């Protein structure tokens, strides 16, 4: 009997049963030096996947929207130097094409995209026939219907390597957390999609 997670093994990650898939890296790719320094700093830890945001769907227009295409070249250097597999967020079919051309290993759909059924459908259409893991963050608002809808649109297009990222939800009430985890909502979601792997985003 294998001691490794069958789901993550299919994705190309030898994760032992009962252990988490660990994803690490900067929220935003800011420079070649930053990415290489960060990747080399975490090489000795049990990290399975190096992530970096290169197109940033910011809440405020004056905030940097990310480096963009240049960061894909930097990530290639990270892979060559460290051996890490790579993950990048995509929000549009155009971004997806660039990421696929760069042979990024794992894609994720961010919370601000998950909440938009039109954007999710465009990505689902573009992902049809693509055999790469796709991680879907919960929507920014605690709405199970929107979350269900996003997963179903992807499944209906034949996306098979699906995973879920719980990053928490925006709330109006003051909290010590940037995003409230809403564990009960997550449990209800898991009841509908029990076979999918779940990943917790612990960033505050």
The predicted pLDDT at position 60 comes to: 47
Q: What is the CATH number of the domain that holds 119?
A: 3.20.20.70
The predicted pLDDT at position 177 comes to: 74
Which pLDDT band holds residue 78 (cuts at 50, 70, 90)? very high
- The residue from 29, 54, 87 where one domain ends is 87
Q: Is the pLDDT of residue 58 over 60?
A: no
Which pLDDT band holds residue 179 (cuts at 50, 70, 90)? confident
The predicted pLDDT at position 65 comes to: 61
Over range 71-79, report the average pLDDT.
97
Which pLDDT band holds residue 61 (cuts at 50, 70, 90)? very low
Q: Is the pLDDT of residue 57 over 80?
A: no
The predicted pLDDT at position 204 comes to: 56
Residue 133 shares a structural domain with residue 43:
no
Q: What value does the mean pLDDT of the chain take?
A: 91
- The residue from 31, 61, 87 where one domain ends is 87
The predicted pLDDT at position 64 comes to: 53
Which pLDDT band holds residue 188 (cuts at 50, 70, 90)? very high
All residues at 6 or more sequence positions from 131 whose CB lies less than 8 Å from its CB, including other chains: 160, 161
Residue 66 shares a structural domain with residue 126:
no
Residue 101 shares a structural domain with residue 67:
no
Residue 116 shares a structural domain with residue 155:
yes
Q: Tell me: the pLDDT tens digits for 122-132?
A: 999 999 999 99
Residue 184 shares a structural domain with residue 132:
yes
- Side-chain half-sphere CA neighbours of 143 within 13 A: 13
Q: Is the pLDDT of residue 12 over 80?
A: yes
Q: Tell me: the pLDDT tens digits for 139-175?
A: 999 999 999 999 999 999 999 999 999 988 887 777 7
Domain membership of residue 161 as a residue range: 90-204
Q: Is the pLDDT of residue 102 over 60?
A: yes
Over range 167-190, report the average pLDDT.
84
- State how far the Cα of 110 lies from the Cα of 194, in Å rounded to an integer: 21
Residue 104 shares a structural domain with residue 203:
yes
Q: What is the 3-state secondary structure (H, E, C) of 151-204?
A: HHHHHHCCCCCEEEEECCECCCCCCCCCCECCHHHHHHHHHHCCCCCEEECCCC
Residue 116 shares a structural domain with residue 25:
no
As for how many domains the chain has, the answer is 2
């Amino acid at each position: 009997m294998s001691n490794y997670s069958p789901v993550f093994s299919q994705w190309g990650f030898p994760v032992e049963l009962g252990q988490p898939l660990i994803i690490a890296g900067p929220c935003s790719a800011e420079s070649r030096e930053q990415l290489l320094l960060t990747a080399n700093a975490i090489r000795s830890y049990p990290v399975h996947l190096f992530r970096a945001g290169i197109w940033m769907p910011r809440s405020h227009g004056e905030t940097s929207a990310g480096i963009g295409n240049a960061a894909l070249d930097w990530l290639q250097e990270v892979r060559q130097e460290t051996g890490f597999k790579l993950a990048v967020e995509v929000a549009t079919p155009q971004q997806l094409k660039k990421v696929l051309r760069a042979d990024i290993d794992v894609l994720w759909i961010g919370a601000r995209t998950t909440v938009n059924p039109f954007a999710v459908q465009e990505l689902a259409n573009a992902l049809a026939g693509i055999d790469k893991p796709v991680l879907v963050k919960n929507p920014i608002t605690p709405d199970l219907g929107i979350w269900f809808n996003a997963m179903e649109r992807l499944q209906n297009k034949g996306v098979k390597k699906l995973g879920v990222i719980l990053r928490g939800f925006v709330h109006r009430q003051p909290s010590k957390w940037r995003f409230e985890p809403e564990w009960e909502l997550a449990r209800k979601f898991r009841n509908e999609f029990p076979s999918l792997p779940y990943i917790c985003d612990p960033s505050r």
